[in-house]
Chains A and B, each alone.
Chain A
């Protein structure tokens, strides 16, 4: 309920924020985005950082812009903004679909896209969508900026490629204009985390799927691409039968956890069912 006492910095620019991180030296520091994951952890005293760097006043971290063949989302863009933003809906519909399933309206108005990615919760919804869309994460540090491919960004359970002294500042998402998209989330109550989630986006010509990208949530320590499904779908009709056959391969190569909600074998089964539903919905044929 009451966090251990900490120092607090509220920078207004990215450079100031990086200065705050650099000045922290050896101290245990946490970056505060929307706080939807961090604050409960602090209040239950599961973490006790000595310094919090609050990004909520850094205006340049917010918003979505068009950048030619990609759209760029600021790391502090809220889930609700991702749900509603016209550029996202036009060019990266999958992100909007996934964000719409995050928790409840209060959380979506506070929680941020970038925070969700950096947090690397295996049951978080946005990483699988970002992975499926081949997003590129722009990470800033005192040495400058570097770009990390989504495939390399989610390193392990609760561990991203953003290291000490760095910030995720923006996410470049290649335009998937005209792609159908659907995020199929399986959970026990509306506000609960995903037991399994499937992020699917599909480009079709006529009735034929010509390209498909599928990301899986909570099928391992990090989000995974269902590559076998993607390959099997290419050239197939968006029919129940064809998609069912492809989706049956969803769990190939995954190592899902066993927890109170689901054993690993049940998760593997769910991945197949949910992938079929997600792909069919994405293709607009559900």
Chain B
């Protein structure tokens, strides 16, 4: 019997394979968590606070317990023995304050959406109906909405026991910033606001917990991190880890919002344990807006010291980062994750970094596509464009005078990161060519000269980012609880198919396709002969899941290395069967051949021979099966040049993207189609932040953009056609040469768009438009409605180089 298999047609790396997942996803032959229905399953509904801040005087669920279909109803205090506080995994500083965060609050509500009580019923409708029978008496407390006000001495406190709204303070100095200021000819100072965003994964959060035996549970969750969920739910709910199986079935997007361990996951587990029946909860869109993490929400102050010839000397960054009411899994770390990226691609001599985390009575923030790096990139790329304008130097030319030249790699930045590779000149040259940079600059001049009502602006963003989270030692140094390795198992089935078991957890990225290509090349098997096994802690016992553009860089490397181990196992068996010395057996495209002879075995033949185990070499075991666990030594650093041309209608304030060109360098490309898709989606999300999206609260702490009517997610009609291209400078820190692409578009595009809008309006004296650049904001800027503020911000320019300090006293406790 001989195993049959297709021989691979050619190398898979670089082939634009259509995604294996898409037919199933597009035709609906798939399974989301909310599709799971189990015999006897109960439904959870959560009563959420309508107030931003209040003391709970009474929560009475007795009437709800009598409602039709209701099995149980509980308040926060009823759960005192069921679970502890939800986890925060990143101790970012010694002074970090971690307030208790219970899945159902026990004493106070601290944001609109905070859970007050729960109902479990035989149907979802019965559970939702019964919520209305719960009687709650709130004693209203003052909302804390504004970060600056929250730090004032007399501010009401979100958590009284903490005695402050300051969650943490962080300071880091690289080089002597003040010394650069002393000799600088110019100092640029700006304040940028990075507004609150709502992630809007297409699939809302959802969880089902099935008590499969006494104290044994299977959990389905719409999560990016099934392995994290298993560990942390064990800790929070007290079910032994080995009695929990977590499955993330098809997951409809996350963007970081499902990189968390949520109250409802703990609740469903605790309730399934109490009630002995399966329990399901699925968020409505409105619930997701309140009770799933938000993103960004920073006030970013920057100073750049420079010489008149454009040479940049020092960079000072001071951030206020809004935590919201509680700390979720990674909340305090997000702004800090970007701290090494503020110097970006530029050769600063000194970098000073400050960040203060602030509690407010709003939905907690956490990772959102880019997590720290968009915040850094927005600040530095906005500031460099502003500096260029103030110095009268072309925005690209100013960058050229300061960026790391390609021959200078590897280069250690002022922040201490060593960038292994890059070629900013090449990406920029290609982008300017595709964009017709000079032609558009000419048109811009012409429109300015004839005072056209439609002005043209050109925005630049030459970003870099750090991907491949993360070296475990680096994570330890920054206070993170876990490591950053990834684990792959590669095995050949008896009939010569390959199974790749990988601990990253796809939720839209196309892992099954990309990883099949990596494994197919390494094993010399056909793309269709590879099955990628993911998203289930029973079948994938080890893994650290998906975030931070890590899957291919870390996980792909693990797959490659495990596959190479399998090839070596097979080589030994081939030598044995072909009666040759191992060193004489060559491997190419799935066939082992004795050098200089016709004697050969295919990898499929060897898989069956190993399975049969009839004749194995001395000391070897049956089965071709190997694993590799890769802990990266460093990060990878994708980069690129994004250019955006925006037409601003000065009569209405409307901004229309005329053209968008991006040339990204993500290293070696495994699948150009997948990369293209990631870039398109990321750029769309970044444009959305620049022009449309804004999670807004009123002064009472109500989310005023609580539906898709008010929170503007752009659709295809609102976005331009993207012109994309790539340069390929392979990473030298992993064998595939890949760098990661999941977040690049979202990181790069936002400053490119805002820079373009501001550039269009510079003749009107405009130096900034706060995001999102709404028509009204743009129109007011054109009208000079903000002339006062703009002039004030500029008044120390360029001669006044005295130390500015901060607009608000952050030193006050």
Judging by beta carbons under 8 Å apart, are B779 and A186 in contact?
A: no
Known: A260-B704, A273-B652. A44 touches B779 (CB 8 A): no
Judging by beta carbons under 8 Å apart, are A270 and B129 in contact?
A: no
Which B residues touch A44, using CB under 8 A? Answer: 286, 707
CB-contacts of A170-224 with B (<8 A): 186, 188-193, 195
Which A residues touch B710, using CB under 8 A? Answer: 260
Q: How far is the CA of A40 from the CA of B704 in the complex (A)?
A: 17
Known: A260-B710, A266-B779. A186 touches B652 (CB 8 A): yes
Which A residues touch B779, using CB under 8 A? Answer: 266, 269
Does A157 interact with chain B (Cβ within 8 Å)?
Answer: no
Judging by beta carbons under 8 Å apart, are B775 and A189 in contact?
A: no
Interface 9-residue window, one of A1-9, A12-20, A68-76, A225-233:
A1-9
Judging by beta carbons under 8 Å apart, are B652 and A270 in contact?
A: yes
Main SS at interface, chain B: loop
Judging by beta carbons under 8 Å apart, are A2 and B776 in contact?
A: no
Which A residues touch B577, using CB under 8 A? Answer: none
Does A66 interact with chain B (Cβ within 8 Å)?
Answer: no
Does A263 interact with chain B (Cβ within 8 Å)?
Answer: yes
Judging by beta carbons under 8 Å apart, are B651 and A188 in contact?
A: no
Across the interface, name the chain A residue whose C-beta is closest to B128.
A2
Which B residues touch A262, using CB under 8 A? Answer: 775-776
Q: How far is the CA of A270 from the CA of B775 in the complex (A)?
A: 10
Across the interface, name the chain B residue whose C-beta is closest to A43.
B284
Q: Mark B626-652, 1 if CB is under 8 A from A, else 0.
A: 000000000000000000000000011
Q: How far is the CA of A44 from the CA of B706 in the complex (A)?
A: 11
Residue from A104, A188, A190 with most neighbouring chain B CB atoms (10 Å): A188
CB-contacts of B282-312 with A (<8 A): 284-286
Q: Which of B128, B705, B780 has a CB less than 8 Å from the CB of A1?
A: B128
Judging by beta carbons under 8 Å apart, are B774 and A188 in contact?
A: yes
Does B712 interact with chain A (Cβ within 8 Å)?
Answer: yes
Q: How many A-B residue pairs have CB under 8 A?
A: 56
Contact-size category for B: 20 to 34
CB-contacts of B250-275 with A (<8 A): none
Does B39 interact with chain A (Cβ within 8 Å)?
Answer: no
Does B133 interact with chain A (Cβ within 8 Å)?
Answer: no
Can you give 17 contacting A-B residue pairs, CB < 8 Å?
A: A1-B128, A2-B124, A2-B128, A5-B125, A44-B707, A186-B652, A188-B712, A188-B774, A189-B713, A189-B718, A190-B715, A192-B712, A193-B709, A260-B710, A266-B780, A270-B652, A274-B652
Does B475 interact with chain A (Cβ within 8 Å)?
Answer: no
Does B714 interact with chain A (Cβ within 8 Å)?
Answer: yes
Judging by beta carbons under 8 Å apart, are B776 and A266 in contact?
A: yes
Judging by beta carbons under 8 Å apart, are B696 and A260 in contact?
A: yes
Which A residues touch B704, using CB under 8 A? Answer: 260
Which B residues touch A270, using CB under 8 A? Answer: 652
Judging by beta carbons under 8 Å apart, are B651 and A261 in contact?
A: no
CB-contacts of A212-271 with B (<8 A): 260-263, 266, 269-270
Does B654 interact with chain A (Cβ within 8 Å)?
Answer: yes
Across the interface, name the chain B residue whose C-beta is closest to A48.
B132
Across the interface, name the chain B residue whose C-beta is closest to A266.
B776
CB-contacts of A105-155 with B (<8 A): none
Q: How far is the CA of A150 from the CA of B481 in the complex (A)?
A: 67
Does B416 interact with chain A (Cβ within 8 Å)?
Answer: no
Chain B proximity of A130: nearest CB distance (Å): 23
Judging by beta carbons under 8 Å apart, are B718 and A190 in contact?
A: yes
New A-B pairs, 7, CB < 8 Å, besides A189-B712, A261-B774, A269-B779? A2-B129, A5-B129, A192-B709, A192-B712, A263-B776, A266-B779, A273-B651
Judging by beta carbons under 8 Å apart, are B125 and A2 in contact?
A: yes
Q: How far is the CA of A189 from the CA of B124 in the complex (A)?
A: 34
Residue from A4, A189, A262, A269 with most neighbouring chain B CB atoms (10 Å): A189
Q: Which of B707, B715, B780 has a CB less than 8 Å from the CB of A191?
A: B715
